Amino acid sequence: MKILTWNVQWFKGLDEVVDIKRVIEHARSMADFDAICMQEVAVNYRALTGETEPDQIKALRALMPGFEVVFSPAVDELSPCGGFRRQFGNVIASRVPIRQIQHFALPHPPAASSEPTPSMPRIALDCTLQAPWGPVRLMTTHLEYYNVAARHAQARALRELHLQSCALALQPPKPQPGSPYELKPHTMDALLCGDFNFEYDSPEHASIIEPGPSGAWVNSWEFLHPGKPYPATFRIFDRTYGPEPVGCDFFFVSPSLGKRVQELVVDQQTQASDHQPVVITLRD
């Protein structure tokens, strides 16, 4: 099973061209993926998309027949003119059945400093996929960039959400067939991917992998290359946001999936976005 994650920056390349088709075609050249997770997808933000299709979800669905495209906007607001809604958030597109979809708003506290910084709401999209071996939760997110306090709170929340899901898998609620209380596909198997805006040795990373009573997150890199530096996924070509390349786009997995992690590949050549795509391969 192959899953790709990519902060697509509303499909704008380093050449300043917004091209959804280019991004999807490049992703397909990397892997015959079963699911793709994308961050920073826009709807009706003309300042971002220019003269291209303003509804990027509509465009994705047209470009990806055979995939179910799920959009989870972190920002959902009325346009200044009051004529339409503008949305910005994350996408999971899957060609394997999606048994359940959940949207989790992440914490959004003010900055610890009295000096204001740009900030916007963040969300985690959670889709339970039917993998060859059974249900697996696939979560994707894009964490706060400027506000360190918010980013750390969001990392802790992602840990708590995973522990909660694991606890439900260990002790599922009593079902009522034929109703919203129908038995859900609770599972310990899970992946969490996206643009975390923190590095491997950061306090936020340490918080997210702290084990809990019912489960844990482990950076998938540890199952393949323990002790080795994580490859850069951001600022390789464009140093607008800092002087050095960094790795901040990850796949975390539950320990139950550790034995299935076969490969993790970062494409460090493409300039179709300001971030680099990452593909994980799981053994069936």
pLDDT in tens, 197-218: 999 999 999 999 999 999 999 9
99: Cα within 13 Å, side-chain hemisphere = 15
In order, the DSSP letters of 65-101 are TT-EEEEEEEEEEE-TTSSSEEEEEEEEEESS-EEEE
Helices (H) and strands (E) in the chain, counts: 6, 12
Number of domains in the chain: 1
Helix, strand, or coil here: 188?
coil
Fill in the amino acid letter for 185: P
CATH classification of the domain holding 124: 3.60.10.10
Hey, which residues does 250 pair with through a beta bridge?
194
Instruction: Return the sign of the alpha-carbon dihedral for residues 76, 88, 135, 209.
Output: negative
What backbone torsions phi and psi does residue 204 show, to the nearest 5 degrees? -65, -40
Which residue range(s) make up the domain with 11? 2-173+181-282
pLDDT single digits (tens) 113-142? 778 889 999 999 999 999 999 999 999 999
Residue 136 burial (10 A CB sphere; 0-12, 13-18, 19+): buried
Contact 200, 233 (CB under 8 A): no
CA distances from 268 to 74, 189, 253, 271 (A): 28, 29, 22, 8
Instruction: Return the number of other C-beta atoms located less than 10 Å from residue 109's C-beta.
Output: 13
Encode the chain (284 residues) as per-residue pLDDT tens digits. 999 999 999 999 999 999 999 999 999 999 999 999 999 999 999 999 999 999 999 999 999 999 999 999 999 999 999 999 999 999 999 999 999 999 999 999 998 877 888 999 999 999 999 999 999 999 999 999 999 999 999 999 999 999 999 999 999 999 999 999 999 999 999 999 999 999 999 999 999 999 999 999 999 999 999 999 999 999 999 988 888 999 999 999 999 999 999 999 999 999 999 999 999 999 99
Tell me the two tokens of residue 67: 């995939």
Q: ∠ CA 40-122-53 to the nearest 5 degrees? A: 25
Fill in the amino acid letter for 161: L
Question: pTM of the prediction?
Answer: 0.97
Q: In what order do the strands lie in the sheet with 123-131?
A: 98-105, 123-131, 134-142, 190-195, 249-253, 218-219
Q: CB-based contacts of 171: which residues, under 8 Å, 6+ apart? A: none
Q: ∠ CA 63-65-69 to the nearest 5 degrees? A: 80
